[in-house]
Every structure is written in structure tokens, then in C-alpha cells.
Amino acid sequence: MSLRSWSLSSWFTPLFVPLLLLLPPWSFFIKFVLLVFISTAWILAKTSSSSHPTPGNPSPHLCKSTCPTSCRDGVIAADQASLLVCLYRALPWVVISRKFGEFAERKLPPTIVVVLVWVYACLFGCNLQEADPSSVWDYESLGSFFRRKLHPGSRPVNTSSRIVIPADGTLTFCGAYTGGSLQQVKGVFYSLPKFLGRKVEPGPGGLLQKSGTCLYQTVIYLCPGDYHRFHSPARWRVEERTHIWGELLSVAPPILKNVQGLFTLNERVVLEGTWRFGYFGMVAVGATNVGSITIDCLPGLVTNSKNKYGTNSGVERRKLTNPVDLMPGQNVGNFSFGSSIVLLFEAPVGLEFLTSSFQKVKYGEHFL
């Protein structure tokens, strides 16, 4: 286990956790909530503590675009082995997500559902005026509100764009792939092969299919209050799909900044194919709470459940017998709670994005 993140609070953790769990006056639920809060808070505190190096606590190495793959993989492995990240990952997020999913799909009395939907909408700032249906009385469960549609015409798709924004959310990263590893946010990396669930070479002869092109990446975070459906960003053909079982950690930007390689840990569905410039990939990444991912063209796909071997890990990759052609703005699928969409696409070298990181975006808007 790495000592890279072991501050005073890290050394205190092994002593505090057993004490917290053994305190008899508190219920297990209260202890668990406190444990979740403390572990998450300490992970988020890593950035502020590491940004002020001292002689006894030197600043850790931060990878740049020029760092080799081995360097970045080492930083990712060291971060994932740190005590705080291990503590955070040790919490039963998959079980929590399944239980929350069962609750969200439960058909409760209409009055209770109305209260739940109204409180949720107010808490997370959901725009009910653009929702279809717009009345809170028309939802039979909290889960049906998560998957709400939009009124026709509320998101006009930009027809002059090569790529449009596929989902409402926050753009956490966009840019050209410079080799080595992909980026969750600027300066925080994850492995391309692990993310796609297969051995892959990003250059010519690998993902890239044409000369004069490079690989670009876009990450969009859907917060709990955002519209949860995602759409095709371009005209392309889906030829393969990969279901990768995994964890259901939070993908909120503060967590993404502090857990290297998080996207390779979570459950995800990878859609790969081609478009006018070559390779095109769209990845739906699951996250804490419901965690379910639905893909319209894959009705048999079931996520947030154990695989056929009864475990929460593994990779299942299939070529589609009948490839699916998608048009810009066409519905692809939905999340049952906030999560992330990652686009990987081949395009001519030298493209510049008009949008910047941590900018709010909406489905159908011009992107490229």
C-alpha cells in the first residue's frame, strides 16, 4: 500500500474506523453514513494538502502530456493503492446503488411519489418546464423521473455541426489524445486499453484508420439534476459493443480530480464503430446510486448486476450482427442517475474546440 497520500489523517484512519464501528450507542446506519462522509472528505482534502508542499511533505509528481505511459501507469497504480482511495473503494457502493435502484423503481402511492419528485427536482435544480411530462403527478416512480424525456423542440439539434453535444452536463475535458493515457480532467489520467477492455494501439494500424488524423477525447459529466438521456453526437455506425463490469464510484468532478484511473474502475458500456473520418467510440460510464445504463439498440443488455459467474468484474465484447446506423441527435440510451459520457473519435489533426473544460453544455448544441 502506497504511503504517497499518508498524511496525519491517513495514519489516524486505522485507529478511527474500528472505534467508529464499535461505538454501541449509534446504529449501524449512522456509523456507515459517517464513514462514507469521512472517507470522501479526506479524499477531497488530498488536493488542498498536496498543493502546499513542505520539506517533510514534498509535492507529488504530476504527469504531463510528455510523460511516458509507464510513468502515468505508475502514478495511477500508486494513487489507487493509497489508503484513502482504498478506504473509499472498500465501501459497498455497488450494493448501495442496487438498493437505491430498487427503491427508485418502487411504485409508491402517488402522493409520496409527487413529494419525492418535487423534493428531488428542487434539491438538484431540475427544469420541470422542459420535461415531458412536466407535471410531477405524471410520474409513477422516482426512477421514471430520472429517465424523463424532453418536450419536442426544447433541444434543437445543430444540423451544421460535424459533432453535437450528446448529453446535458458539464464538460470536464476535451482535447487531442497525446499518447500514453487519456485524461478524466486535466492532469488526471486513465489507461486507454483498460478503459476499452481490450489491447489497443491508439496510432496508425490501431484505432486510427486514416492518415493525417489523430484521436480526440471528450468527457461530459451528467449531474443528478441533468436530463439523463444521451444521444448520438454524429452520423456514425455502431459495429461492436463491450460491457465491462466494475465498481460504481462517484464520477463527480471533485472525485475525478482525486482518484487517478477512476474511469477504468467503474462499470461501463463501450460502443465502437466508424464515421466519416475513421474510428468513433462512445462510452457510457456508470456511477454511484442507481448505476443502470440502458442502450436502445441493445435490449438484452443488463447493467448494475452480477455477471454469469456471479461476480462484479469481467469483460464481454461482441460484434453486432446487424450494425446500427445513428444520426445526430438520435436517442442512444439513458442513465438512471447522474454519470458520464466519454467520446473517442478520429478526426483530422489540428482541430480546435470552441468549448472549454468545466463549461455547462446541453444536448444538441454545436461541439465541432
Q: Which of 221, 226, 248 is nearest to 146 (CA)?
A: 226
* Order of strands, sheet of 236-245, starting from the edge strand that comes earlier in the sequence: 314-326, 236-245, 268-275, 278-285, 339-348, 213-222, 169-176, 359-361
Q: Which residue is it, cell 456511477?
A: 287
Active site residue 73: no
**φ and ψ at 105, to 5 degrees?**
-90, -5
Catalytic annotation, pick one of 82, 181, 339, 340: 339
Give the Cα separation of 67 and 139 in Å (integer): 50
Please, what is the Cα angle at 130 between 106 and 136, to 5 degrees?
35
Catalytic annotation, pick one of 231, 243, 250, 292: 231
Q: How far apart are the first and last CA of the chain?
A: 43
Give the Cα separation of 19 and 12 in Å (integer): 11
Please count the helices (runs of H) and the strands (runs of E) in the chain: 9, 15
108-141 as b/e: b if 16+ CB within 10 A: eeeeebbebbeebbeeeebeeeebeeeebebbeb
Instruction: Give, in order, the Cα–Cα distances in Å from 113 to each of 124, 191, 199, 307, 338.
Output: 16, 41, 46, 32, 19
DSSP 3-state assignment of 171? strand
Q: Which residue is it, cell 465498481?
A: 247
Instruction: Give, in order, the Cα–Cα distances in Å from 289 to each of 38, 106, 215, 333, 347.
Output: 18, 15, 32, 18, 35
Which residues in the chain belong to E strands, given as ranges? 131-132, 149-150, 169-176, 182-185, 188-190, 213-222, 229-231, 236-245, 268-275, 278-285, 293-295, 314-326, 331-335, 339-348, 359-361
Catalytic annotation, pick one of 168, 226, 228, 292: 168
**Would you name the residues annotated as active-site residues?**
168, 231, 339
